[in-house]
């Protein structure tokens, strides 16, 4: 009986110390990551991205770099992320770009994780928006097959 009481006392103290130290027992946020190539409207393109959903007091965050065969590119500060099963939807403003008119616009991206490696069903879609489009789940009008690389939604 003394051993049981001692065990519970030690366990209570350990949990109390973890709570006092601010250790969070919440699950890690969902995320989408990838570096993939695809062809859309007869142009080879590539996106490299990380997108982390908001959790607890932490906001959604991430980044995306786009480039294409025309040597155009842009960098996005991802500020909104929603993940539903194998789908990730994320958006953010363009911070830097090869085209001056793209800076300040928003980009909305949808990705589908069809399995590993990416050539076995991963898909991407994206568009510009003049203001914050949010990142609510939706059905993209068309999806483009990943031709190289891999994306993961977890």
Summarised one tens digit per residue, pLDDT across range 81-111 is 999 999 999 999 999 999 999 999 999 999 9
Read off the pLDDT of residues 135-154 as tens digits, 9 standing for 90 and up: 999 999 999 999 999 999 99
pTM above 0.85, yes or no: no
| Residue 9 belongs to a domain | no
* Proportion of the chain above pLDDT 70, given as a percent: 80
Measure the CA–CA gap between 114 and 149, rounded to whole angstroms.
12
Q: What is the pLDDT of residue 16?
A: 45
| Residue 95 belongs to a domain | yes
Sign (positive or negative) of CA dihedral 38, 47, 53, 20: positive
Q: Do strands 43-52 and 61-68 pair parallel, antiparallel, or not at all (unpaired)?
A: antiparallel
Q: What is the pLDDT of residue 2?
A: 53
| Residue 12 belongs to a domain | no
| Full domain range(s) for residue 58 | 31-153
| Residue 14 belongs to a domain | no
Token representation of residue 144: 């483009």
Q: What is the pLDDT of residue 115?
A: 86
Cis peptide before 117 (omega within 30 of 0): yes
How many Cα atoms occupy the beta-carbon half-sphere of 46 within 13 Å? Answer: 15
Q: What is the pLDDT of residue 119?
A: 64
Using alpha carbons, select from 27, 35, 28, 32 the residue that is nearest to residue 154: 32
149: buried, middle or exposed (CB in 10 Å: 19+, 13-18, 0-12)? Answer: middle
Task: Count the domains in the chain.
Answer: 1
| Residue 89 belongs to a domain | yes
| Residue 104 belongs to a domain | yes
Backbone angles phi, psi at 41, to 5 degrees: 50, 45
Q: Do residues 79 and 95 touch, judged by C-beta distance below 8 A?
A: no
| Residue 23 belongs to a domain | no
| Residue 59 belongs to a domain | yes
């Amino acid at each position: 009986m003394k051993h049981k009481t001692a065990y519970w006392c030690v366990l209570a103290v350990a949990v109390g110390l973890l709570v006092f130290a601010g250790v969070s027992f919440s699950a890690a946020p969902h995320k989408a990551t990838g570096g993939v190539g695809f062809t859309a409207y007869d142009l080879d393109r590539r996106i490299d991205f990380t997108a982390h959903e908001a959790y607890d007091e932490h906001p959604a965050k991430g980044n995306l770099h786009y480039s294409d065969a025309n040597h155009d590119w842009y960098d996005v500060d991802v500020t909104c992320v929603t993940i539903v099963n194998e789908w990730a939807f994320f958006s953010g403003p363009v911070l830097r770009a090869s085209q001056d008119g793209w800076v300040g616009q928003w980009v909305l991206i949808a990705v589908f994780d069809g399995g590993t490696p990416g050539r076995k069903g991963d898909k991407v879609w994206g568009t510009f928006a003049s203001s914050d489009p949010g990142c609510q789940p939706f059905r993209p009008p068309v999806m483009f097959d990943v031709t190289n690389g891999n994306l993961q939604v977890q």
